[in-house]
Structure 1
Amino acid sequence: MDFDKLEIVMRRLALEAGDVIMEIYNSDDFDVRSKSDDSPVTAADEAADALISAGLRAAFPEVLLVTEEQAASHKESASEFLIVDPLDGTKEFVHRRGDFTVNIAYVVDGVPVRGVVYAPAKSRMFFTRADGGSVEEAGPFDKDAVGVLTPIRVSTPDNGALMVVASKSHRDQATDDYIGKYAVKDMTSAGSSLKFCLVATGEADLYPRVGRTMEWDTAAGHAVLAGAGGAVVRFDDHTPLTYGKPIYENPFFIAYAPGVELKPA
């Protein structure tokens, strides 16, 4: 893989998809339908998916593309693949809460090694550089010219006063019970893959997810967090979360800054 090319293409496609999404988001009305698993889908999901898929297939025709909106791709597998969630946080989008993201990642041998997370309504953009390190780009954004980049790094956590981030739309008692095992200084809620990015920037130390997710939900955020020095492990045994699993489904997991003393499930 040409990582310089990958960085440019992923960033550009994320920005272009963000423009398409925001055009629909800012319209007077948009249709919301239910998929077979009862999750919502909008024209924004589908338009962003079409744009990103066309761009990735043109740039990297030899690499398997897995995307949430194309069910046939969920049956394919390879040792390396691109994985896309064109609009993560559709519920946030539908309720016009702004916490939704465009996610594109590249996975090699089970590890998400590069990724981009773009939150167009919040004007926040995070991505891994060609060298694997993670940055946040300051807006306004130009798809043809990279703006001011700030390298990001996880916090040095204080286990007596942890900063925790949890899901905005999927918070439940099991999550609260697990968080209750820690000494928490402050807790915030966020939607979509932004939670990984808040750990990556040091705005949070710990993000536990006790609920169903798919690999396209997490791969880009996982890559950004890893490039900032963070880690993602399985909830049950604290072994690394890997990718390329059957139907691309994740177990429960914990994303964190190393130094957090992880509690048992």
Structure 2
Amino acid sequence: MDYERLTRVMRDLALKGGAKIMEIYEGDGFDVKVKSDESPVTEADEAADAIISAGLRAAFPDVALVTEEQAASHSKKASTFLIVDPLDGTKEFIHRRGDFTVNIAYVIDGVPVRGVVYAPAKGRMFLTLADGSAVEEDGPFGPEMGKVNPIRVSDPDNAALMVVASKSHLTDETKDYVAKYQVKDFKSAGSSLKFCLVATGEADLYPRVGRTMEWDTAAGHAVLAGAGGRVVRFDDHTPLTYGKDGYANPYFIAHAPGVELKPA
């Protein structure tokens, strides 16, 4: 894989998908449907998916593509694949809270090695460069990449941790787990932005005790890894891997390496 080209293509398609999402977001209204798994989907999800999928298939025709909005792709099995959530945080989008992202990632042998997370309503772009390091790009975003700032996880103080958790899916189990730590500040955020807040050092710990799919997490996982962070299973703290049956994740913890993890 030409990682320079991959970065350019993923960034470009995230911006194009994000522009379509914002066009619908800022319009008069949009239809909301319910999928078979009871999750919501809007015309923005579908429109962004069409743009991103077409672009990835044209650029990388020999690489398997898995995307949330194309159910037929969920039965694919490949050791190397691209994985997309064209609009992560649909509930945030529907309620016009702004915490939604475009997620595009590249996975090799179970590991998300490159990724882009773009939050169009917040004007934040996180991505991995060709060497795998993670950066945040300054906006406004044009056709060519602008100034980028390297990002790095925190050196956490275990007596005063910064914790981030889901805004729309905050479970009692999550609250119980967070209570095991000495917490200085607790914030909620939507979508894959939570990974990015750990990647930038704005948070130390993100536990997810709830349902997620690989397209929800792969891009944020890649960005966090590029910033020196880790994502591990909740139960045994082994690395979270990708390409699982049905692309469903177990519970997990994303964290700066200095966090002293508590048992489940």
- Counterpart of 1:104, as a letter, is I
Q: Secondary structure at the match of 1:38?
A: coil
- CA–CA separation in structure 2 for the residues paired with 1:37 and 1:108: 28
The amino acid that maps onto 1:264 is P
Q: Which residue of 1 aligns with 2:63?
A: 63
Percent sequence identity over matched residues?
A: 78
Tell me by how many angstroms 1:172 deviates: 1.3
Q: What is the distance in 2 between the residues matched to 1:44 and 1:117?
A: 17
Match of 2:194, SS state, is: helix
Q: Secondary structure at the match of 2:156?
A: coil
Question: C-alpha distance in 2, partners of 1:63/1:92?
Answer: 31
Residue in structure 2 matched with residue 112 of structure 1 by the alignment: 112
State TM-score, norm by structure 1.
0.99
Q: How many residues align?
A: 264
Superposed CA offset, 1:54-98 (max 9, x none): 000000000000000000100001010000000000000000000
SS in 2 for 1:132: coil
Paired with 1:30 and 1:239, the residues of 2 have a C-alpha distance of 41
Output aligned runs, 1:75-224, within 5 Å: 75-142=75-142, 144-224=143-223
1:148 CA drift (Å): 1.1
After superposition, the CA RMSD in angstroms is: 0.3
Where do 4+ consecutive residues of structure 1 move more than 4 Å?
none
Counterpart Cα distance in 2 of 1:247 and 1:261: 31
Asked if 1:52 corresponds to 2:48, the answer is no
User: 1:233 and 2:232 equivalent?
Assistant: yes
**In the alignment, residue 156 of structure 2 is paired with which amino acid?**
P
Aligned equivalents of 1:153, 1:2: Cα separation in 2: 24
Give the Cα–Cα distance (whole angstroms) in 1 for the partners of residues 88 and 209 of structure 2: 17
Aligned equivalent of 1:15: 15
SS of structure 2 residue aligned to 1:107: strand
- Give 1:5 deviation, angstroms: 0.4
Distance apart, 1:205 and its partner CA: 0.1
Which 5+ residue runs of structure 1 have no aligned equivalent?
Answer: none
Distance in 2, Cα, partners of 1:84 & 1:146: 21
For 1:38 and 1:252, locate their aligned partners in 2 and report how far apart those are by CA, in whole Å. 20
- Offset of residue 189 of structure 1: 0.4
Uncovered stretches (5+) of structure 2, i.e. residues with no partner: none
- Under a length normalisation based on structure 2, what TM-score does the superposition of the two structures give? 1.00
Q: Per the alignment, in what secondary structure is the counterpart of residue 47 of structure 1?
A: helix
CA displacement at 1:242 relative to structure 2: 0.1
Distance, in Å, in 2 between the alignment partners of 1:29 and 1:104 is 26
